[in-house]
Chain A
Amino acid sequence: MELICPAGTPAAFREAVDAGADAVYCGFRDETNARNFPGLNFTRDELTEAIGYARRRGVKTLVALNTFMRAGQEDIWYRAAADAVKAGADALILADFGLMAHVAETWPEQRIHVSVQASASNAEAVNFLVDAFGARRVVLPRTLTIDDIARLARQIRCEIEIFVFGGLCVMAEGRCSLSSYATGRSPNMNGVCSPASHVQYRREGDALVSVLGDYTINRFPAGEAAGYPTLCKGRFHVGDKDGYAFEDPVSLDVMDQIDRLRDAGVSALKIEGRQRGKAYVAEVVATLRRALDASAEERGRILARLRLLSEGNRTTAGAYEKRWR
């Protein structure tokens, strides 16, 4: 199984390559990808340079163009695709059907990977994308159990990539407008979720309150670690209770299931986190590389230390385990 690693900056890209990535995924510094955060991502020149750096070390580069094209401005996405192809991207990670059709027609040899944002959650959906656009790999949404994945793998005609470590979307990806409901900016249209431009922290006595747009998303009493106000990971009032209505601030970790995932037919394991720093990327990639290469017995010990890097120091297997639902 390949290890697919995130890079938000050229520095993080080099760290990922050096730490043992089989492939690194990244995006341009604009709204064409779903991590369109301030100060993040690559210029055309930086991408070309990064691809060269990776290629010389036998590592692939996957370029994410995984937002949905704004009507009337499709050229921004078409140009990004042309530039990524020209720079030598090994695959484009796409979500928009119109963009997939454009890439498949213009560069029939170019590998298309289906982004998790496309929300292909079953065999029929995946085969639709294989038939329509020649997709070679699908990144599955984090809504399936490992058994679901195994069943699906037997029925589809392309490779499977799944997220194994990092941030966890509680909602089906690519189908969530919570962020734009509160801020006007969404993952699908703008490549952002709960954008920093709409975030405020406010002190209320000893408590720290995080606010997104006009809405209080969380309140942290003194001594409790604070979190970023990602909407679906906020504390709300439902019924007669205050609490995490959708998901606790935890992150995904299914690396202890590597053997089951391999048996299920998974080709590639993906680490979330293009928005995280190079130190994090280096540490996580190196550790998961060692875990992937180690025996099952050694693996637990190698993975234990990763928990420290996770949001709230807690992890979940998410939808990969049925009980999560």
Chain B
Amino acid sequence: METRQPTLTLGPVLYLWEGETWRDFYFRIADEAPVSHVYIGETVCSKRLHFFEPYLADVIGRLEGAGKQVVLSTLALVTIDREIRHVRATIDGSAYPVEANDLSALGMLRGRPHVVGPMVNVYNGATARLLAARGADAICLPPELPAASVNRIVADVPGVDFEVFAFGRVPLAISARCAHARSKGNIKDNCRFVCGDDPDGLPVLTLDGQPFLALNGVQTVSHTCQSLLGELHDLAEAGVSRFRLSPQHCDMVAVARIHDDVLADRTDADEGIARLRAVYPAAPLSNGFHEGREGAAWVARARNTAHGVNA
């Protein structure tokens, strides 16, 4: 079993942020956030690439200068030739490890060290072993996985750094169709980048007005913000190497510090959760997936005792 202290990573920004905002966000992460790895790159929609590409070199330079390991992330849904070419160019030209979020990238990355992203279906040790044999040295497990599966996979496959999705609205689905554009009367091919109006997603409420989901272009994310702050120590003990913080429209440096404090035992989980709620009040916290329940649920943990349920 690894005894190495786990680290924090910053997942790719899932939303369409204005170019300079995107750049400044990463500059601040580079300067201030206690994270070991930073994933950058568009994973949701190939039409958005031009928004941040002018700033990419500067951002990578700043992150590297700050000692962060840069990982280039790739598209989750690859269908047309332009998208294939983009994935190939990212992989071929990269001086950095690449995160595969779809099967095409997995194929192209064979034999090279790479990261398998949370959009690739790794539900068991057999699959993780196979991907490791093809060159994956780190795997971010799907957010849907319950703790029992995470623990089992990590135990089954030594030699791979496993990462879990510890903070952020959960990416739940992706479509060829853009519900975000359609909600504003456009279609995907003529979308006018309306998803840029909603830097934290466009809320989807039930007909009763109950918050449920959020639209992020062709992606649908949860209304709730997954938080495994209370589970960090258990997961670390099980052998998980990294915890992914998925950027939301809030102070992500503060989010990273809270997780760092809890990991280092400077703060207990309950206090950490209270601080997290204050930093990101826009969404209630959830950890239902981890508990093997509905993902939207919040299962409060009483320390070293039976779980209390407060969904």
A residues near B (Cβ < 8 Å) are 68-72, 74, 95-99, 101-102, 118-125, 127-129, 131-132, 142-144, 148, 151, 170-172, 174-178, 180-184, 186, 188-189, 213-219, 232, 235-239, 241-242, 245-247, 319, 322-325
Contact = CB atoms under 8 A, between A and B. Distances in A.
A122 B108 CA distance: 12
Nearest to A143: B176
Interface of B: 76-81, 83-84, 87-88, 102-108, 110, 119, 121, 123-131, 134, 142-144, 148-150, 152-153, 156, 170, 172-179, 182-184, 187-189, 202-210, 212-213, 215, 220, 222, 288-289, 292-297
A175 B174 contact: yes
Nearest to A130: B107
B158 to A, nearest CB: 15
B169 to A, nearest CB: 11
B78 A125 contact: yes
A97 B222 contact: no
5 contacts: A122-B104, A172-B175, A182-B296, A218-B207, A325-B177
A215 B84 contact: no
B107 A148 contact: no
A71 B129 CA distance: 12
B148 A71 contact: yes
A98 B127 contact: yes
B207 A188 contact: no
A217 B205 CA distance: 10
Contacts of B142: 177
A13 to B, nearest CB: 29
B179 A178 contact: no
Q: B interface, by DSSP: helix, strand, loop or mixed?
A: mixed
B148 to A, nearest CB: 7
Contacts of B144: 177, 180, 186, 188-189
B107 A128 contact: yes
Given A216-B206, A245-B204, A121 B177 contact: no
B288 A184 contact: yes
A124 B84 contact: yes
Contacts of A123: 84, 104
Contacts of B103: 118-122, 124-125, 128-129
B207 A238 contact: no
Interface centre among A70, A180, A232, by most chain B C-beta atoms within 10 angstroms, is A180
A181 B104 contact: no
A182 to B, nearest CB: 6
Closest A-B pairs by Cβ, 9 of them: A98-B126, A128-B107, A125-B103, A124-B104, A143-B176, A68-B123, A325-B188, A71-B152, A181-B295
Contacts of A122: 78-79, 83-84, 102-104
B124 to A, nearest CB: 4
Nearest to A69: B124
A241 B152 CA distance: 45
Contacts of A172: 77, 173-176
Contacts of A69: 123-124, 126-127
A257 to B, nearest CB: 17
B189 A325 contact: yes
Given A121-B77, A216-B210, 17 more contacts: A70-B149, A71-B148, A96-B127, A97-B127, A98-B126, A98-B128, A118-B121, A122-B79, A124-B87, A124-B88, A124-B103, A143-B176, A170-B175, A170-B177, A178-B213, A181-B222, A325-B176
A93 B172 CA distance: 24
